[in-house]
Amino acid sequence: MQALLRVLATGKDVAEMGAAYGETAAVLAETARSVVTVELDPERVAVARERLAGCGNVELLEGDVYEHLRGRGPFGLVFVDGGLRPVDPERWEAILALVEPGGLLVKDDMTPGRPIEGDEVREFLLRDPRLAATEFLVAADMAVIVAAKLG
């Protein structure tokens, strides 16, 4: 997953929703132009802050990601970490608003083999006409959806 994100982030302004300990943010920083990453849990933020101290292109913010990112962007890549599990359509609208036209939205931690119908995340990402999206396996037990914002 990190190898994929490292490639997709290349040259882009990136937003990561859910930093945890900053592991993926550090990988994104290797290729991205800039990375904004947000984490709710103060203890995780403290660990991430240490890990990311040497990454001059990373901005680490503590608090609710929807609050912090509202009105920011647009970003060339928005990584919605599986830990967030947004199912509310309003949340997805807010996330989509962060992505620039032609930019990418990545959602990991999808359980493989589930139908689209009845799965709020899949219905939004794979059926919304504003997106071109595909789902694929990155491990035997984990799928990812990569969606590009059209127009």
Ligand X SMILES: C[S@@+](CC[C@H](N)C(=O)[O-])C[C@H]1O[C@@H](n2cnc3c(N)ncnc32)[C@H](O)[C@@H]1O
Burial 57-90 (b: 16+ CB within 10 A, else e): bbebbbeebbebbeeebebbbbbbbeebebeeee
Nearest residue (CB) to ligand X, 14 versus 147 = 14
Q: How far is the CB of 61 from ligand X (least distance, A)?
A: 9
Of all residues in the shown chain, the one whose CB is closest to ligand X is 83
Smallest distance, ligand X to C-beta of residue 151, A = 28
DSSP secondary structure code for residue 12 in this structure: S
In terms of CB distance, is 130 or 141 closer to ligand X? 141
Q: How far is the CB of 102 from ligand X (least distance, A)?
A: 23
Nearest distance in Å: CB 18, ligand X: 3
Sites of contact with ligand X (CB under 6 A)? 16, 18-20, 23-24, 38-41, 44, 64-65, 81-84
- Closest to ligand X by CB, 30 vs 150, is 30
Q: Which is nearer to ligand X, 45 or 147 (CB)?
A: 45
Contact (Cβ atoms closer than 8 angstroms) between residue 39 and residue 69: no
Between helix 89-97 and helix 120-127 the angle, nearest 10°, is 40
**What is the Cα–Cα distance from 116 to 65, expressed in whole angstroms?**
26
Angle between helices 42-51 and 23-31 (to 10 degrees): 40
